[in-house]
Amino acid sequence: MERVVIGVAKTTRQSYNGKEDMLDRHANGIKEENMLVSAKEMLDKAVAGHYAVAHINLNNLEWTKAVLEIAQELKAPVILGVSEGANKYMGGYKTVAAMVKAMDESLGITVPVALHLDHGTYEGAKGCIEAGYTSVMFDGSHFDLEENLEKTTEIVKLAHKQGISVEAEVGTIGEDKNGVVGMGEIADPEECKRLADLGIDFLAAGIGNIHGVYPANWQGLNFEALQKIKEKIGDLPLVLHGGTGIPKEMIQKAISLGVAKINVNTECQIAFAKATRAYIEAGKDQQGKGFDPRKLLAPGAQAIKDTVKEKMEMFGCIGKAE
């Protein structure tokens, strides 16, 4: 029986009609036993089904385990996002890919799971393709349009050869930098169309969304811009970065206009920190072996699960992997 090497952590598994067929199955989101998948099919299904898949950023092993377990419990597809900073913190692209693949296998996860580079540089995207990620984002929004198009084209070519999905971005997302909140840019619909025509699998477009905690004077999402973008790109899945703190009614309207992937990070971090602080302030770390990291970090891990469940309910993706 022929065996081939593919996917995350370069695991071996049975071939169906050779490597090409396996890569097709991988790219189409067909989950074989103990295998991560591309994000393409799960997001295409989300667009057709009028819901969004949760992209949850990982920060360590506890995050990974918590998100995988709650996704499996809720029978929801999930995208595990990792920034370049988090990759570095956890030991590098290969370390993260190996950890996620091994945990997916060890926990017996059957729902579709994609391992996705979040806001990747050109070199970072290439590094994750080589390391075994199943999805990458190349964020060329800080380049002029022509350079963004050129570099995105190269990443699409490299990724699609391996059955890896690609997210691109146009119109920068707002961000809180040292207490100063930038509101970002509203993406130009024509520029969105040019990126979409490159064969990317999903698109992040700035529509007034912000990374981090939204300020009191936030004006909300620009649905007029979102509608115009949707008209230009058709059924290509759209990505909403900065999903923390956006009101439910805005989330659901965004989904109705083609948003199929919503990124959440800050909200999980806040929930984890709050639960861990409460444990320590209650003196539980000084009771018996309460200092054991397995006990010390357990409330935070549960808080992550609770937050992810709340978001998945809001996004409408629970039960979509059944």
User: What residues are labeled active site?
Assistant: 118
CB half-sphere exposure, 206, CA atoms < 13 A: 21
Q: Spell out the alpha helix ranges (H) of the chain.
A: 19-27, 40-49, 61-74, 84-89, 93-106, 122-131, 145-161, 189-196, 223-233, 248-256, 266-281, 293-296, 298-315
Strand 165-170 to 202-205 pairing: parallel
Return d(Cα 291, Cα 28) in angstroms, integer: 45
Among candidate residues 88, 66, 94, 91, the one with its CA nearest the CA of residue 80: 66
Cα 177 from Cα 168, distance rounded (Å): 23
* AA identity, residue 101: K
Q: How far apart are CA 260 and CA 201, in angstroms?
A: 11
Identify which of 242, 249, 241, 304 has the alpha carbon closest to the alpha carbon of residue 275. 304
214: Cβ contacts below 8 Å, ≥ 6 apart: 242, 244, 245, 246
Nearest-angstrom CA–CA distance, 227 and 102: 41
